Every structure is written in C-alpha cells, then in structure tokens.
Amino acid sequence: MPEIDKENVIDQEEVLRPKMVTVEIAGKTYQVPEGITVIKALWYTGQEVIRGAGCLGGFCGACATYYRTKEDPKVRTCLACQTAVQDGMSFSMVPPFPARKAIYHMAELKDPKQDLFNLYPEAPLCRNCNACTEACPQNIDVREGVWRAVFGDFKAVSEMFMDCVMCGLCAPVCIADIAPSLVALYASRAQGVYFTEKPERLFHRIKEIEDGQYDSEWDRILKMNDKELETACANLK
C-alpha cells in the first residue's frame, strides 16, 4: 500500500481553506471568509436575518446597511448584498426608519406640481447639506433631485431616480426631515400620469380590451391546465 504524502495533503488543505478576515457585527468580533458579501457574513456567523433579505441582487433596497472600515472613522452606507467584507470592517443593518409617507390618489390631483407642497411641505426646506447624496448607495445626486422636484422639473427627477431602490438611507440623514426617495417617487408618478405623452397605440389597445375583444381568448387560457399552458407557451417560441 503506497505511503500517504502527509505534507502534500496539508498543502492541499491550505489551498482549499478560505482566507478568513475579522469583522465586527453589533460589537462582537467574528471570523468570516474573505470576499463574501456583508449579508452572507451575517448568515455565516449565525445571525438571524429575517427583515433585510430581499432580492439579493441590489434591486429591492431591503438590505440597507451602515458600515465602517478599519482605521476610518467615517460611517458609510451600502447594500449588504452588494458589498464585500473587508478585514476590520464593522457593520450593522439599518432598522426601518419612520419616514412620513403621504397618502394620495393620482387621479384626484388638481395641480400635481403644486400638490407636492401640500403632500410634502418639508421638501422646499432642504438645507443643501448634501448628506442625502453621500448616503445614497446608488450614487444618485439626491440633493439635486429634491430641488428639481421643488422647482417642478419632474421629468428630470424621474430620470435621475431611475436607479433608486427605495432603501431609505437618504431619510434618516436629512436635517430638514425630508424623505427624498418618497418625494422623488411622487414626482416620477406624476410625470408618468400627467406630463408624459402616451403612445397612440396604447389607447387603441385599451379600447380593444374594454370592448371585450380578448375576452374569449382569456377564458380559453384560464381554463387550461399546467400541461396545456406549457405546450401553448412552447408553441409561441
């Protein structure tokens, strides 16, 4: 029986074993594999993450996180699913922030640009501190967006906040108690409903649906079982 090369086995184990880094979670130190994301580090260390685990792809904004790196006093913000851990990093997920969310019905608005001040009267109180922009993990110029909304440039706001994931990290840092993401959401909705020209063909299709042109087809599809639906979809390719 051939002898086992123990030194070679040990070398292979060293190669396969992930390099570990030290992180601090809620004041307690842990060792986690280098290169994993913050949220995976939380799971790796046995943290029970129920709220804050959403799409894991950087789209839902659920995993807003505060963090600080080694020897850097500045606390920064990130999405836990998109940020890799670093040796000496300290972090904690952000709890829900009680930002005031205005209730409105788009169809009932009389003057959408003026109604912004009724729904979010704090919007024009921006102090230009730029804390909201610095807090945004999507690199949106949040301060500029708020001012554009105040001055009625809803089109620019809707374009600027296209990458907003509603993480809410801009709200707790605002000294004027503005929730910029909610102001931007209102401006984007108003822009789409009131100020964006609708494609002519869209109205034709809506009229066809209202006239019942597709009712029989819907009835046929809704009566299909899973196998029939699978076959119908395959035939569309």
Same domain (yes/no): 209, 191: no
Strands 64-68 and 89-93: antiparallel
- Does residue 24 or residue 8 have the better pLDDT? 24
The token duo for 229 is 């639906």
Beta bridge partners of 64: 79
pLDDT at position 61, please?
Answer: 93
Same domain (yes/no): 23, 59: yes
Residues composing the chain: 237
pLDDT in tens, 153-188: 999 999 999 999 999 999 999 999 999 999 999 999
pLDDT at position 1, please?
Answer: 57
182 lies in some domain: yes
Name, in order, each residue with C-beta under 8 angstroms of 154's C-beta and a sequence gap of 6 or more. Answer: 112, 113, 148, 187, 188, 190, 191, 195
Alpha carbon dihedral 31, 32, 33, 35, in 10-degree steps, equals -120
Mean pLDDT, the chain, rounded, equals 92
Same domain (yes/no): 110, 190: yes
Is the Cβ–Cβ distance between 23 and 35 less than 8 Å? no
Name, in order, each residue with C-beta under 8 angstroms of 145's C-beta and a sequence gap of 6 or more. Answer: 156, 157, 160, 161, 180, 183, 184
In whole angstroms, give the CA distance from residue 144 to residue 130. Answer: 9
Domain count, the chain: 3
pLDDT at position 198, please?
Answer: 82
End-to-end CA distance of the chain: give it in Å, rounded: 59
Is residue 143 over pLDDT 90?
A: yes
- Average pLDDT on 103-112 reads 95
129 lies in some domain: yes
User: Using the 8-state DSSP alphabet, how is residue 70 labeled?
Assistant: T
pLDDT at position 10, please?
Answer: 56
pLDDT at position 217, please?
Answer: 92
pLDDT at position 3, please?
Answer: 65
48 lies in some domain: yes
Query: What SS3 state is found at 75?
Result: coil
154 lies in some domain: yes
pLDDT in tens, 10-54: 555 556 678 999 999 988 999 999 999 999 999 999 998 888 888
pLDDT in tens, 204-237: 999 999 999 999 999 999 999 999 999 988 888 7
170 lies in some domain: yes
Is residue 189 over pLDDT 90?
A: yes
Full-model pTM: 0.77
pLDDT in tens, 48-97: 888 888 898 888 999 999 999 998 999 999 999 999 999 999 999 998 89
- Does residue 84 or residue 197 have the better pLDDT? 84
- The domain that contains 184 carries what CATH number? 1.10.1060.10
* Mutual angle of helices 142-150 and 180-190, in 10-degree steps: 50
pLDDT at position 92, please?
Answer: 94
In whole angstroms, give the CA distance from residue 44 to residue 38. Answer: 10
Domain that holds residue 208: 200-236
pLDDT at position 117, please?
Answer: 97
Same domain (yes/no): 48, 21: yes
